[in-house]
A and B are shown apart, each in its own frame.
Chain A
């Protein structure tokens, strides 16, 4: 039997990166293919090629043995490929049926009219097919996330898709909803659809899939029948051959407790997370997307709701419970989205750098800003952090990602914070800036700053953290110290396996 879908030797090059290097995969009808790999391994790029969002630089796609060429997403649609995205597109105030058929509403008897009854009937039919009890007349906003996802799948079925791609579909579902999702995937398989299932959770891959494909650094590093491979073997493929440990660096012990969090809860997201951050250490928070790492930080800083828990902070040697605002005052927070949250892109570098400490530059009765002093600070920061820029008047928007990130650092360092929180500090940053930022973080910890690091880059965690806490389902699930912090152990911990000490 020929494959329903075959991607042959797909290559995609972005400026400076080979995102996909000669990758071939195929899926048969009635088969579920699991696609795994760390963030940045090339999964999304591969799927974007399949979805007609990117044109491949090499290779081609075949459906039912015939070559196809997707110039636009609509072409992939027409070829019967449907994506169930992590972030669902939906219209809350419309009904389920309207949501399903918004782009293909059936025409009624009157000119321009919509045959609502037909739309409802078709919606009902495909929901029934999936064994779902959702009513087509229900408002979308009355559904749970899991139910909305079912609607999205029903839409794919109704549109006649026979290749269905799930992009990390379970990350925001409850356990019960996950079970329902698995049943639907099995149903699709039984009906002869070809399914590609992308997930970080190897348990799911093993439970659902017939075959697997592992990508790493844009290359296909493993594939085969799921029955013939063990958990540990997949982890190894995902991480790569265990890198010969770098010259074992000494991990700092940290001093007196700086910040302690006890039983931080947020409805449905955080389930009593507790941790202690010491003076002069880099504490890593490790976990998959949705494990609650960013959410924990946001709740503690008061940027998102917090439904329970205590925050204790050492202020001038005295530990006491503090409010979100008191904590924020002593904290620098480098967010994961520097372009939207971290910088005034249209403003000059010097204005960005002094923006967190304007009160320090206000002079005289009228509190006029001393621009010369602001510029002076900016110049010394540019030297200290080696920001590559013509001068301090340059617009932040013009800088490269790495240099923008250094400006964000400069702006926060200027405040001499007790606590530095870094969320994905080197996302979209070039390799050399990455190294420099790493050194800077180390130097800050040496000087006594408490650093809380969130990153999904495994090498970065190993290189920078002195201690790592693993988050799972909104709770601290494990702690790793010293030599136990290895790439394999981190990967295994996040994927819930026992192979921690390979």
Chain B
């Protein structure tokens, strides 16, 4: 009997947020005529795209037991690069933006993995610094992207779903494969479990962490680039507050803030959808938009609380 309860609880801890997502979809469908419609789900797909593409990379860093709070600012810097290259062909803009993300990711990773700096405070500081750099170039005003990129941003697939959503989805799937299908991914999980043991056993800890940050930088840059392409312009709001939403989505999706466990697919994807669907559902019911931060914040708290409970169990066992 007691074992049953424990099993049920573990099941709840592991899959609780999937059930919650399902329940929320059902509730919103029941109480709102406009929720389960093609046009509304197209909206949800678009709104998910930017958070999803950034959260995918953050998942990898979190699995290493580290964090990158500068992802929102990296997205803004990448979007700024898109603006600076707006006279050039779209491909040049894209490549330049992604390379910028890669470079920043490598820098973050170097600070954390090689210099041993605390990732939370380091990337918190850099979050402000990177945003500052972008503001210097955009002068804090709205800028236009090149026409070619704006055109790409408006491409639709399968009827009404914008292509940019599939870009984000592709990143999720690729990162999931790297996590579970490659040596690098196994190293990340091992590092997140126990960095000291990983080092002793011969895992190249520093290089593996550097790679996670590099991919995280690229993933944040993709987010910024997609947003710029979709809007056809670069706003100063690009990526603002995204780091906390992304952390929430990743943790809701089952990754641990303590490292060592988590998945990009379906975990982080489900986490992002949950946040976005709640926001959207409240919107379609005409609930005041000021309610959303409270709901999202409570959800984040709940996710982190449950993460602590899960990890307390694991620690007391070992």
State in angstroms the CA–CA spacing of A74 and B203 once bound together: 13
A89 to B197, Cβ gap below 8 A?
A: yes
State the interface size on chain A (CB cutoff 8 A): 19
Q: What is the distance, in angstroms, from A289's C-beta to the closest C-beta of chain B?
A: 18
Q: Which residues of B contact A108 (CB under 8 A)?
A: 181
**How does the 8 Å CB contact mask read for B288-318 relative to A, with 1 for contact and 0 for none?**
0000000000000000000000000010011
Instruction: Tell me if B190 is interfacial: C-beta within 8 Å of chain A.
Output: yes
Q: Which residues of B contact A74 (CB under 8 A)?
A: 202
B201 to A94, Cβ gap below 8 A?
A: no
Interface residue stretch chosen among A25-33, A98-106, A272-280: A98-106
Task: Known A74-B202, A141-B314; judge A91-B182 contact (CB<8 A).
Answer: no
State in angstroms the CA–CA spacing of A467 and B95 once bound together: 78
From B189, which residue of chain A is reached at the shortest CB distance? A94
Q: Which residues of A contact B187 (CB under 8 A)?
A: 102
A94 to B190, Cβ gap below 8 A?
A: yes
Q: What is the distance, in angstroms, from B125's C-beta to the closest C-beta of chain A?
A: 25
State in angstroms the CA–CA spacing of A108 and B185 once bound together: 14
Which of A98, A102, A114 makes the CB contact (< 8 A) with B181? A114
State in angstroms the CA–CA spacing of A114 and B260 once bound together: 18
B202 to A91, Cβ gap below 8 A?
A: no
Instruction: Tell me if B198 is interfacial: C-beta within 8 Å of chain A.
Output: yes
Q: What is the distance, in angstroms, from B132's C-beta to the closest C-beta of chain A?
A: 35
Which of A91, A93, A114, A141 makes the CB contact (< 8 A) with B183? A114
B184 to A112, Cβ gap below 8 A?
A: yes
Q: Which residues of B contact A94 (CB under 8 A)?
A: 186, 189-190, 193
Task: Known A89-B194, A91-B194, A92-B318; judge A98-B186 contact (CB<8 A).
Answer: yes
Q: What is the distance, in angstroms, from B318's C-beta to the closest C-beta of chain A?
A: 7
Instruction: Tell me if B131 is interfacial: C-beta within 8 Å of chain A.
Output: no
Q: Which residues of B contact A105 (CB under 8 A)?
A: 183, 186
**How does the 8 Å CB contact mask read for B172-197 relative to A, with 1 for contact and 0 for none?**
00000010011110110110111001
From B193, which residue of chain A is reached at the shortest CB distance? A91
Q: What is the distance, in angstroms, from B188's C-beta to the closest C-beta of chain A?
A: 11
From B197, which residue of chain A is reached at the shortest CB distance? A89
Instruction: Tell me if B4 is interfacial: C-beta within 8 Å of chain A.
Output: no
A91 to B181, Cβ gap below 8 A?
A: no
A103 to B197, Cβ gap below 8 A?
A: no
Most buried by B among A91, A98, A110, A113: A91
Which of A102, A110, A112 makes the CB contact (< 8 A) with B190? A102
Q: Which residues of A contact B318 (CB under 8 A)?
A: 92, 141
Task: Known A102-B190, A112-B183, A113-B182; judge A92-B314 contact (CB<8 A).
Answer: yes
**How does the 8 Å CB contact mask read for A237-249 relative to B, with 1 for contact and 0 for none?**
0000000000000
Q: What is the distance, in angstroms, from B142's C-beta to the closest C-beta of chain A?
A: 41
Q: Which residues of A contact B194 (CB under 8 A)?
A: 89-91
Task: Known A94-B190, A102-B203; judge A113-B181 contact (CB<8 A).
Answer: yes
B183 to A90, Cβ gap below 8 A?
A: no
Give the bracket for the number of chain B residues in contact with chain A. Answer: 20 to 34
Q: Which residues of A contact B193 (CB under 8 A)?
A: 91-94
State in angstroms the CA–CA spacing of A108 and B314 once bound together: 32
Q: Which residues of B contact A93 (CB under 8 A)?
A: 189, 192-193, 260-261
Scan residues 313-339 of chain A and give those whose CB is less than 8 A from a CB of chain B: none
Scan residues 116-172 of chain A and give those whose CB is less than 8 A from a CB of chain B: 116, 141
Q: Which residues of A contact B2 (CB under 8 A)?
A: none
Q: Interface majority SS on B: helix, strand, loop or mixed? A: helix
Which of B182, B186, B192, B201 makes the CB contact (< 8 A) with A89? B201
State in angstroms the CA–CA spacing of A231 and B182 once bound together: 53
Q: Which residues of B contact A107 (CB under 8 A)?
A: 183
A91 to B197, Cβ gap below 8 A?
A: yes
Q: Which residues of A contact B314 (CB under 8 A)?
A: 92, 141
Q: What is the distance, in angstroms, from B41's C-beta to the closest C-beta of chain A?
A: 33
Which of A102, A110, A116 makes the CB contact (< 8 A) with B201? A102
Task: Known A74-B202, A93-B260, A141-B317; judge A114-B186 contact (CB<8 A).
Answer: yes
Task: Known A89-B200, A90-B197, A141-B317; judge A114-B261 contact (CB<8 A).
Answer: no
Scan residues 222-252 of chain A and give those whose CB is less than 8 A from a CB of chain B: none
Q: Which residues of B contact A116 (CB under 8 A)?
A: 181
Q: Which residues of A contact B203 (CB under 8 A)?
A: 102-103
A91 to B198, Cβ gap below 8 A?
A: yes
From A87, which residue of chain B is reached at the shortest CB distance? B197
From B182, which residue of chain A is reached at the shortest CB distance? A112
Q: Which residues of A contact B201 (CB under 8 A)?
A: 89, 102-103
Task: Known A89-B200, A90-B197, A141-B314; judge A102-B261 contact (CB<8 A).
Answer: no
A92 to B260, Cβ gap below 8 A?
A: yes
State in angstroms the CA–CA spacing of A98 and B186 once bound together: 8
Q: What is the distance, in angstroms, from B316's C-beta to the closest C-beta of chain A?
A: 9
A91 to B317, Cβ gap below 8 A?
A: no
From A91, which residue of chain B is reached at the shortest CB distance? B193
Q: Which residues of A contact B317 (CB under 8 A)?
A: 141
State in angstroms the CA–CA spacing of A19 and B86 once bound together: 71
Q: Which residues of A contact B190 (CB under 8 A)?
A: 91, 94, 98, 102
State in angstroms the CA–CA spacing of A206 and B199 once bound together: 37
State in angstroms the CA–CA spacing of A108 and B186 once bound together: 14
A102 to B184, Cβ gap below 8 A?
A: no
State in angstroms the CA–CA spacing of A93 and B197 once bound together: 13
Scan residues 167-199 of chain A and give those whose CB is less than 8 A from a CB of chain B: none
State in angstroms the CA–CA spacing of A103 and B186 once bound together: 10
From B178, which residue of chain A is reached at the shortest CB distance? A112
Q: What is the distance, in angstroms, from A167's C-beta to the closest C-beta of chain B?
A: 15
Q: Which residues of A contact B192 (CB under 8 A)?
A: 93
Q: What is the distance, in angstroms, from B282's C-beta to the closest C-beta of chain A?
A: 35
Scan residues 89-140 of chain B and give those whose CB is less than 8 A from a CB of chain A: none
Q: Which residues of B contact A92 (CB under 8 A)?
A: 193, 260, 314, 318
State in angstroms the CA–CA spacing of A93 and B318 once bound together: 12
Which of B182, B197, B198, B200 makes the CB contact (< 8 A) with A114? B182
State in angstroms the CA–CA spacing of A313 and B194 once bound together: 42
State in angstroms the CA–CA spacing of A304 and B187 once bound together: 33
Q: Which residues of A contact B200 (CB under 8 A)?
A: 89
From B200, which residue of chain A is reached at the shortest CB distance? A89
Scan residues 379-432 of chain A and give those whose CB is less than 8 A from a CB of chain B: none
State in angstroms the CA–CA spacing of A110 and B197 once bound together: 28
In the assembled complex, 29 residue pairs joining A and B whose CB atoms fall closer than 8 Å, in A order, are A89-B200, A89-B201, A90-B197, A91-B193, A91-B197, A91-B260, A92-B193, A92-B314, A92-B318, A93-B189, A93-B192, A93-B193, A93-B260, A94-B190, A98-B190, A102-B186, A102-B187, A102-B190, A103-B202, A105-B186, A107-B183, A112-B178, A112-B182, A112-B183, A112-B184, A113-B182, A113-B183, A114-B183, A141-B317
Using a CB–CB cutoff of 8 Å, the interface residues on chain A facing chain B are: 74, 89-94, 98, 102-103, 105, 107-108, 110, 112-114, 116, 141
Given A90-B194, A91-B197, output 11 extra A-B contacts at Cβ < 8 Å.
Answer: A89-B200, A92-B193, A93-B189, A94-B186, A102-B190, A103-B202, A105-B183, A105-B186, A107-B183, A113-B183, A141-B314
